Structure 1
Amino acid sequence: MKYMLESPKRIFIIALLLFLIFFIGFWMQKKEESAWNTTQALTIVPESLQDEDEHPNEELVPPENMESLPEKEIWVYVDVKGAVDKPGVYKVSENSRVQDVVKKAGGFTKEADQMQINLALKVWDQMLLYVPEQGEEIEIVSTPVISSQDSTDHRINVNTATLQELMTLNGIGEKKAEAIIKYREENGPFISVEELLNISGIGEGILSKIREDISL
């Protein structure tokens, strides 16, 4: 009789344990799924946000408000002589002043007569800047010479000619004229007409056609 009374009690305890085991297992499974979903949500970026990351400033900076590209700088060559530490030909911006060129030439020597030099003078291409020594008299130049070559010389100066002027030469089209200008900007003025042979597309044949029509 006692055994029969204890059997329902055992069955109840076993059923309770099975229920607890099932409940704990179900709870842990839900917890793992929740953690996985949270991780996925953190790593997946919505397409709308991805598009914004690819073009972060597309709407912040309207095209009409963007700064224009800087203009190409133009270079000129100035021949510096006299009482400076390093006389020579210097390549400077066309907006440079005499003081900038003197600085490039190493500055004045102790013997230089600075009173005869206009440091504020704006330079120009093929300018000759002569710095006298103390006691030496020179004519102070205040404006550039209008023409750098003899008015009777109708040859094209390859060191100063414009694109259009170079294109008037026999066999020199737009591309070759651009190449000539680019070469002198990167390497300085031509020292001899034969130096034109260093330019791609200009050979002995073309040089012989234009030799009499060009100058340095």
Structure 2
Amino acid sequence: MDLISKFHFTKREKIFIILFIMALLFGISQYISSKQEDPPPFRDQAKDASNAISSKTESEKTNSEEIVVDVKGAVMKPGIYHLKNNARLQDVLELAGGTLPTADLNQVNLALKLKDEMVVYIPVKGEEVGTKIISQTAGSGITTNPSNQTSSKININTADEAQLMELDGIGATRAKAIIEYRQQNGPFQKIEDLMNVSGIGEKTFEKLKEKISVH
């Protein structure tokens, strides 16, 4: 005898109880089925949060990367400068103390975005440097003034301290003196003007005159 027959129910009540039990079982089966098919919502939320954090980390990493740029030519302080990624040419020129009065900025794009290991060369007025004002070395060494690439002479108007020290009789002190003279008085008009620099006399000039130029 089944459970329902143990109790004294009317026929109508028995039918109602059976329908209720069937509906309850159906609801339970649907609930279990939906739980198995649909992944828990928190997993999607966790995944979205993880992707957002990863994206933010990559963005911060890109923005925080440092680049190193070598600045040469008609600037107040030639040398190596460290900048944030996405820096522009104007930014590194400000770090270099600005350009000399003789700098020819018509040949330079101040809005140019800089890259790591880039060599920046600022020409003086009247100097023709073609397309090699700015170049990226990519480990191939230093890109020098194009006018020096076709000649063994060093341009005393644009050479930095290291290049000047390659000349016989020019050490760090005299190289700095040449750059300071250039900054205060503008470019040398002729190679003989080098003797106006403190510490460089006629004897030293005679050793240098075949190895230097002003253009």
Query: TM-score by structure 1 length?
Result: 0.37
Greater Cα radius of gyration, structure 1 or 2: 1
Query: TM-score by structure 2 length?
Result: 0.37
